[in-house]
Amino acid sequence: MARLTHLPQYKAQEKSGSTENIPLGLYIYPILQSADILMYKASEVPVGEDQLQHIQLSQHLARLFNNRYGKTFPIPQPLVDESSARIKSLRQPDKKMSKSDSNIRNRIEITDPPDVMLKRIKEAITDMTSAVTYDPEQRPGVSNLILMHSLCTGNSCENICNEHQHLDTGQYKLVVAEAVIEYFRPIQAEFQRLISEPTHIIQIFEKGAEKASEIAQQTMKEVKKLVGLSHLVHV
């Protein structure tokens, strides 16, 4: 259990003050996450960099079980999109962009309408230098915008800087906003289509739940047999 106190969620709570009133759910969340991963025998898990320690816990638990009862679970490997993981907060470019940030001006939501996306990017913090140059260490704000532009267009940061060297950062923000809006346009259209068909969404959920239940039951049956609880196979 001591290992859980070294994981990100607990450490974040610890930094914020007292650890006396930390909810049990927060404390054991990494165990529940590991159970979800191992139950379905996931071999790869898409995560953010802040979740890597949780995947390491899942790997540890898988190895413990495999060593004692025989190879049962694959060792899950993290899938981290390193480029998107580097996207920073719009108004605090020294921090990562996060959906849980209490300040909505720090991030762009996938479902934000175009005018909101434009507003957020226009308000993004840059610096006193007007040139469009990529230097994450010295110019994190404008470099963050260039990275977003690159991810949305597939163009390299170097090419983007060369192509927009005639613009100041204020003008460049409009270019970035246009690229971001166009990137999310088909995604938003599909989102709107799906929410207009609630019955279809429910059917997808039900089908997925049925498939997940079948896999979970098979895994539990296998595990109970291995640990000597086969008489509880139907529980």
Catalytic machinery residues: 15, 96, 99
SS3 per-residue string spanning the chain: CHHHHHCHHHHHHHHHCCCCCCCHHHHHHHHHHHHHHHHCCCCEEECCHHHHHHHHHHHHHHHHHHHHHCCCCCCCEEECCHHHHCCECCCCCCCECCCCCCCHHHCCCCCCCHHHHHHHHHCCCCCCCCCCCCCCCCCHHHHHHHHHHHHHHCCCHHHHHHHCCCCCHHHHHHHHHHHHHHHHHHHHHHHHHHHCCHHHHHHHHHHHHHHHHHHHHHHHHHHHHHCCCHHHCCC
